[in-house]
Amino acid sequence: MVSAVEQPADQHHRPANCCNPVNKPGPVTMDHVLAALGETKEERETRIRSLFSFFDTSNAGYLDSNQIEVGLSALQIPSDYKYAKELLRVCDANRDGRVDYQEFRRYMDDKELELYRIFQAIDVEHNGCILPEELYDALVKAGIELDDDELASFVERVDKDNNGIITFEEWRDFLLLYPHEATIENIYQYWERVSLVDIGEHAVIPAGISKHVHASKYLIAGGVAGAASRTATAPLDRLKVALQVQTTHAAIVPAVKNIWKEGGILSFFRGNGLNVIKVAPESAIKFYTYELLKDFIGGGDKDDIGTLGRLLAGGIAGAVAQTAIYPMDLVKTRLQTYVCDGGKVPSLGKLSKDIWVHEGPRAFYKGIVPSLLGIIPYAGIDLAVYETLKEMSKTYIFVDSDPGPLAQLGCGTVSGALGATCVYPLQVVRTRMQAHRHGGANAYNGMTDVFMKTYQNEGARGFYKGLFPNLLKVIPAASITYMAYEAMKKTLDLE
């Protein structure tokens, strides 16, 4: 790509009076930062104190979230971006709700070192300035593609003296108060937000990082996570379904013996192949839709949609995914509840054909209503509780670092178990409607009829048949799903 701001080759050299290439060997230290800025330690100390005083308008000697918010607004950082609370959180080392000068200075030290490291990584020539094409190359490596106008706008927003290049001083001033980790993806999103403030009355809102990052990465992450979890818990899923459809006394040990008699250990995995095929697109669609909805609800700020936003996004994403794969789910249930004749199980093709011929195409959506009524709160509670617990662990336990695998396991366990228990009666009704064959015994006439007959013949306990193996299943399933998803997101650079 030829940038709109690229200069002819003979004008491509960096002006010596605006760049400070640093040739100090060894790991990055504050000496490198001072050399790049052309500052002494005393000058830097004066600059930081002046910035602290700019926020501390009441001369209280400390900053609270209101003072930080007022200061950020004065610096033309959008007030709706919620930077004040985030900046307070990362600066407030002793967690007393306010920031004194030493905490503020410690943040400045860490942030300037962080910004210098990424500046050096982008400045591949190490001449002390970032050229537009170097910035473009760094964005492309991160999976973000810009057109000429977007790149020119990005450079113009950072380049205060409008000479077409970015010095470290300009880079630092643009990002110094950005409280999140300074990755190239986060910097791009930050530019999108702040560029809405002062680019003129004909402001053009950038389309957003979601259009640049390949959608297939989210599909892969969700698919791998879902397939791994369901394969590991297939025997418990088969036992759960067997108990759910029993209208007489249901007990775990007799159900296990009956499944074993049908074909040994392999009988516990009946329907697992279809389950993997089904759950891969289901999980992928759910997670990708959830990410898009978070971006839409949060206005581009995925980290600040709140619990209600997570609940709404999770519920809609679950409903979309479940509707898309529901016929496969019904066939899987029929396969798992099929009474073997001589130990033989019909093929998926024959089973699907029989449903189509004898019951019609609408039969593939039997139980869709209780399924949707269940999947919306389940997906909402599951995803919302998980992300809330993860954020709480980052805030109160790990302090700005990512939770480890054990913490993610705990978050997934709690969220999965809570979501499954809340909607389990609807799962029982759905399974019974799915398993019901036209003209068979115990005929049902819709969802209400299933509710009535289950309650009349089995009482309230009938709605919780199979709950124990379901909890045994959902705990590792949810945990494996979310751990695999988080791992895939990091592997595919989606965070």
For 231-255, what is each residue's pLDDT tens digit?
A: 888 889 899 999 999 888 878 999 8
pLDDT for residue 322 is more than 90: no
Split at pLDDT 50, 70, 90, the class of 8 is very low
CB 12 within 8 A of CB 2: no
Confidence band for 204, pLDDT divided at 50, 70 and 90: very low
98, 63 Cβ separation under 8 angstroms: yes
In this prediction, residues 367-394 reach a mean pLDDT of 80
| Cβ neighbours, 10 Å, residue 491 | 12
DSSP state of 403: P
Number of Cβ within 10 Å of residue 137's Cβ equals 14
Nearest to 284 by CA among 229, 237, 227, 209: 227
CA distance 429 to 423: 10
What would the pLDDT profile of 270-320 be if each residue is shown by its tens digit?
888 888 887 767 777 877 788 788 778 776 555 556 667 777 787 788 788
Evaluate if residue 11 carries a pLDDT over 50.
Answer: no
Q: Is the pLDDT of residue 60 over 80?
A: yes
Using 50, 70 and 90 to split pLDDT, how confident is the model at 100?
Answer: very high
Per-residue confidence band for 63, with pLDDT thresholds at 50, 70 and 90: very high
Enter the pTM of the model: 0.53
Confidence bin at 483 (pLDDT 50/70/90): confident
What average pLDDT does range 5-10 have in this prediction? Answer: 34
Work out the mean pLDDT of the chain and round it to a whole number.
Answer: 79
**3-class SS at 229?**
helix
**The pLDDT of residue 56 is above 70:** yes
Of residues 47 and 410, the one with the higher pLDDT is: 47
CA distance 451 to 428: 9
Helix 234-244 and helix 405-435: axis angle, to 10°? 40
Give pLDDT, residue 86. Answer: 82
Give 388-426 pLDDT, tens digit per residue.
887 788 777 776 556 666 677 677 778 878 888 888 999
Burial class (CB in 10 A: 0-12, 13-18, 19+), 123: buried
Residue 208: predicted pLDDT: 34
pLDDT at 493: 64
CB atoms within 10 A of CB 459: 9
Integer Cα distance of 352 and 214 in angstroms: 35
